[in-house]
Amino acid sequence: MPTIYLAPWRVDVTVRPGVPRLAPARAIARIVAKALTAAGAPAPASVGVILSDDRELAALNHSAMAKEGPTDVLSFPLLPPADFPPHAGQDGAARLRSRMPRFQLPPGRRPHLGEIVISVERAVGQATGGLGGQTGDLRWTPAEELRLLVTHGVLHLCGWDHAEPAEEAAMRATESRLLGA
């Protein structure tokens, strides 16, 4: 598991056995760092990125989201939305509900913001099948789809959502800006 430091961030990238490497760990870490900075994440902090397959994502989707079948990306945030700056891609009511006392870390320790798990298998299928991108109708490289999924996952860690039309529009606009689209 490579650990990459891009001040003020630490990114741990884990690639499950048998999963193709679509991008170097350092490139993934740069995407994470760019999205964390744009989202105003508390710094310094760490994030884990796990590149996996449909089987693991289906199991996680079932246990964490009560949904059947695989998905492309799941985020498991460890800090409440109130720990991030308010933004248009956030449910204001959820932000208020999330206000809770912050745990204290020992001096010099960085908080872990959470984990992002991505199905590389699904990213490849979506990209090559013309089902990629934000609109689900792009045919682009699997590496480009992975960049989108990493960015999307990081924004979810930072309290962004797309359940409501205004939230989705704000999140999609931020993703496009970060991806240079």
Mean per-residue pLDDT, 105-120: 88
Domain residues for 29? 3-90+110-179
Given a cut of 90, whether residue 154 has pLDDT beyond it is: yes
Q: Which residue has the higher pLDDT, 51 or 100?
A: 51
Position 105 scores a pLDDT of 66
Position 88 scores a pLDDT of 77
Distance CA(153)–CA(71), nearest Å, equals 12
Mean per-residue pLDDT, 115-125: 97
Q: Confirm whether 119 is domain-assigned.
A: yes
Tell me the per-residue pLDDT of 63-78, one tens digit each, with 9 for 90 and over. Answer: 999 999 999 999 999 9
- How many residues can be counted in the chain? 181
Distance CA(137)–CA(122), nearest Å, equals 14
Q: Confirm whether 57 is domain-assigned.
A: yes
> Angle, to 10 degrees, between the axis of helix 120-128 and the axis of helix 142-157?
130
Q: Confirm whether 22 is domain-assigned.
A: yes
Q: Confirm whether 96 is domain-assigned.
A: no
Q: Confirm whether 150 is domain-assigned.
A: yes
Mean per-residue pLDDT, 30-50: 96
